[in-house]
Structure 1
Amino acid sequence: MKHINVLLRNIPFTVQNDAPWAGVDAGVKGLLEADIPVLKAYGDFDSVTEDDLKLFKQSLALDIVPSAKNFTDSELALLSLAELGYTAIDVYGALGGRKDHELMNIQLLAHEELRNIDIRLLNETNEIMLLTEGEYILQRDYDKKYVSFIPLYDDTLLTLEGFKYDLEDTYVSIGRTLTVSNEYNEKNVVINTDKDILMIKSTD
């Protein structure tokens, strides 16, 4: 597994692993201020100052794109890293801030070129990932009490085993709240879905 971390914005974050880092726009500044080496840098850099940009150029090979474009900096970075062969990507700064960006960052998990990559969107209290069609046997996350499943398609057939509220061959649809705020009940849990679904683990 080829693993990398990505920082999308200059925000406080906690390093959870020793994988290399990529920065996106102001996320580059956040990494440099934390004395973290930047392996790749992406974006139009419209949210940093000219002095910041000059500093970046002294030590980094920047992939600068125009501000007027048909994709976000987040999409650019994730697609580029996928092309470079990264199969596990932890993304910080994707949640919070502007709601349009937050919603699109979540939807990027279902991008046809990204949906089969292990991408996690992380902040202090949440972890969001996409489960594609199939069966998953996962270990309980003792750091996050709640786990929710948000369907991306109507009539998603879902089975949950090892949770406080198990389901057996139950259809869930967009806008229904049946699978929100579940909890683990066993050390190992089983999830079976016939369509893409979001799995969200959260603390209080």
Structure 2
Amino acid sequence: MKKVVFVVSGGELGDPAFLREQAATVAPAAVICADSGARHMRAAGIVPELIIGDMDSLDFASQKYYEAKGCRIIRHPRRKDETDTELALHEAFAMAPTEVWIWGALGHRVDHTLANISLLVQGKEKGIDVKLIDEWCELFLIDRRRVLEGEAGQTVSLFPYGGPAVGVTLTGFEFPLTKAVMEIGSPYGVSNRMTAGKGIIELDSGRLLAVRYFRPGVFPGEVKG
């Protein structure tokens, strides 16, 4: 049985209504906020079970607000090895989920975005599906056969992560591949598109970082009627 935990970081989220809709559909076992990710939850009208971090970007009034709502807060010192999002992810792992969805992990801070992408590796090491998600897209690692359920026209970009991806086969995409080798520094896997409601990604070894946009042909910063 699927058990999903939401982790909410303080980066870009998009429309909080999308998170609220997904929470209503998925019914996460818990919502854990990394520091200022709690602001997103207030906008979405959701009270998290836990807020964790050094609290350098969540004001005292907000902390008291959530404590009054019964939310537990774990405070860490500012000088630490882990990011607040990593601390929240570790709390999520302790709940033995099958999936962790990390919201608010992308945005204008490229260094923070890269740090959050690297956290996907911890999920693979633990056998837990972890993805970064916002209103626009989702990012996840693939190290075995993966079937994407979606719709024709969705943009899916694939990049080798941590080394070459060997034996890559793509079925149901505008640009198919058969037993290809994808090397770091040769990003020809960008901006592929699903041709139907299902796309199949297979590889023999290595890892692929996948970026899938939910709305065909629509990307952040663009408005299309």
Task: Please give the TM-score of this superposition, normalised by the length of structure 1.
Answer: 0.89
Percentage identity across paired residues of the two chains: 28
Aligned partner (choices 37, 40, 44) of residue 30 of structure 1: 40
CA distance in 1, matches of 2:71, 2:23: 23
Secondary structure (helix, strand or coil) at the match of 2:92 reads: helix
Partner of 2:155: 146
CA distance in 2, matches of 1:113, 1:189: 21
Residue identity in the other structure for 1:17 = A
CA distance in 1, matches of 2:55, 2:152: 35
Aligned-CA RMSD value: 2.1
Secondary structure (helix, strand or coil) at the match of 2:7 reads: strand
CA shift digits 1:88-142 (9 cap, x unpaired): 122211010311111110111012665632222112222111112x222332x22
Contact kept, 8 Å, 1:153 with 1:173, in 2: the verdict is no
Segments of 5+ residues of structure 1 without an aligned counterpart are: none
- Given the alignment of the two structures, is residue 163 of structure 1 paired with residue 173 of structure 2, yes or no? yes
Contact kept, 8 Å, 2:164 with 2:207, in 1: the verdict is no
Contact kept, 8 Å, 2:137 with 2:212, in 1: the verdict is yes
Contact kept, 8 Å, 2:105 with 2:132, in 1: the verdict is yes
- Given the alignment of the two structures, is residue 5 of structure 1 paired with residue 15 of structure 2, yes or no? no
Partner of 1:84: 95
Contact kept, 8 Å, 2:174 with 2:195, in 1: the verdict is yes
Deviates more, 1:20-29 or 1:156-165: 20-29
Contact kept, 8 Å, 1:149 with 1:197, in 2: the verdict is yes
CA distance in 1, matches of 2:170, 2:36: 40
The count of corresponding residues between Structure 1 and Structure 2 is: 202
Structure 1 residues 17 and 4: CA distance shift in structure 2, 3 A: same
Partner of 1:121: 132
Task: Please give the TM-score of this superposition, normalised by the length of structure 2.
Answer: 0.81
Aligned partner (choices 172, 187, 199) of residue 177 of structure 1: 187
Deviates more, 1:73-82 or 1:35-44: 35-44
Contact kept, 8 Å, 2:7 with 2:103, in 1: the verdict is yes
Partner of 2:115: 104
